[in-house]
Structure formats: structure tokens, C-alpha cells
Amino acid sequence: MSMTSRKPARLRSGDAASLSEEYQLVDRILGVPFTTSDGLSFMMGAIKTRHRGVCAEHALIYKGPIEAPAAPVLLRINSACYTGDVFDCQRCDCHWQLEEAKRRIHAEGGLIIYHFHHEGNAAGFTNKLKTYQVMDQEKKTMRDAYQHLHLEPDQRRYVSSILILEHFKISRVKLITNNMRKRDILVQNGVAVSEVIPIVSQKAEHREYLESKRDQYGHVIEFSHG
């Protein structure tokens, strides 16, 4: 379905550099069924947005109604992680988070918005691998590695997330996240967050990475002591 006639939206992203910038939803598809290797069934869709002439694509994984829902939607805003999601790299917890979000949404219903353009905190795949190299060679944390390369540690903006929620008339959510910045941006843009649901891997191989996200990025992360 072509969406080229849709009027551009002016949204607040919670970041001064992005205020009042125009984002436009230009195409969409919904209703493609799929089943995972572990037997979970979902629907898949896609949204294409355009900003200053540049298009970005976003996957939707969902179960149950997502258009003008009466109840709060269980929501995961998920940034692409090709190293983890495609190549099963265990440097981070990203693939674990995606799989855990799918399990929860399969059980309860809800929506995952998967932002392809957020790979490497929106710095891209090449820069992400450069940060890995700096982390290994210079013994730096993830945030310090980005800064060592003169990159913004987190370039992600969530204006597309807001535009997608607005498009589907989703105004109330239960948000699966450890990142309170996502909650704040939703609330600033008129989306009520009735609950924040943590999603914390307890795997030993993810501990150092999660400690860095907690200590340097402000994520709310608690580890079990069992």
C-alpha cells in the first residue's frame, strides 16, 4: 500500500537537535505470517519512512491487534544488531533481548518495532566493528570506544518510533526496556507508558557489556544473585 500522500508529521524526539524535523511515512505492508524455528507464530510487516530525502525501513513483528487498540500494547522498540541478530556474536545481549521480547509478545500479544538504521547505535556496522577493535586493543568500554573514534556514543533518535505509533493510533503502551530514555521520549510525545518491563540477561558472557550500559548509558539493570 502506497503512503506517499500522507502528510509529514512534526514530532518531538526529546533531543534538541531533532525538534521539529520532518519525518514522513511513505509505505507500509502488514499481515505476513511467519513461524520461528522454536515454533512461535507471529505476523510481520514493514514501514518505510523518509527524512530529508533519505528513506529508512523498519520491521514490525506483532501478535494481536495493533491498529487503534483499546488496551495498552506490549511494545518493544528494538535497534538492529547485525553482529548479534545475524551472526550470533555474544559480545552483547541484543539478540537475547530480541528473542526474549518475541517470547513475551507471543504469550501476551504486542508489537516489536525493529529499526534497521539503528545498527551500531546508529553509527553503522563498519563503525561498530571499529569500536570492537578499539575495545579489544585499548581496553576501553563501549562508550569510551565510540568517543575514541570521535563518534557520538548513541546516535539513535526515536522519531520514527513515534511516527509509527501515531500511524497505528497506539497511544498507550507497556514498554519492554531497560533504557529510560525510550520511556521519556514516548511520554514527551503523548504516548502513555503504563508500565516499564525490564529485560535483563543473566548470562555471564553479557555481564561486562550490561555493566557498561548501566554505568555509562544510565540503563536500569539489576542482576540476580541466585
Could you give all domains of the chain from N- to C-terminal order, each with its CATH number? 9-121+156-217 (3.40.50.10990)
Its pTM stands at 0.89
Residue 14 above 50 pLDDT? no
**Residues 133-181: tens digit of each pLDDT:** 999 999 999 999 999 999 999 999 999 999 999 999 999 999 999 999 9
Q: Across residues 27-33, what is the average pLDDT?
A: 97
Q: Which of 85, 93, 154, 183 is catalytic?
A: 154
- pLDDT tier at 4 (50, 70, 90 boundaries)? very low
Please state, in angstroms and rounded to a whole number, the distance separating the CA atoms of residues 40 and 19.
39
Please state, in angstroms and rounded to a whole number, the distance separating the CA atoms of residues 74 and 13.
21
At 95, list the grid cell: 539478540
Please state, in angstroms and rounded to a whole number, the distance separating the CA atoms of residues 116 and 82.
9
Q: In the prediction, which pLDDT does 224 show?
A: 83
Q: CB neighbours of 193 closer than 8 A, spacing ≥ 6? A: 173, 174, 175, 183, 186, 187
Please state, in angstroms and rounded to a whole number, the distance separating the CA atoms of residues 93 and 85.
10
Q: Which of 28, 76, 156, 183 is catalytic?
A: 156
Q: In the prediction, which pLDDT does 212 show?
A: 87
**Residues 84-104: tens digit of each pLDDT:** 999 999 999 999 999 999 999
Asked if 156 is an active-site residue, the reply is yes
Q: In the prediction, which pLDDT does 189 show?
A: 95
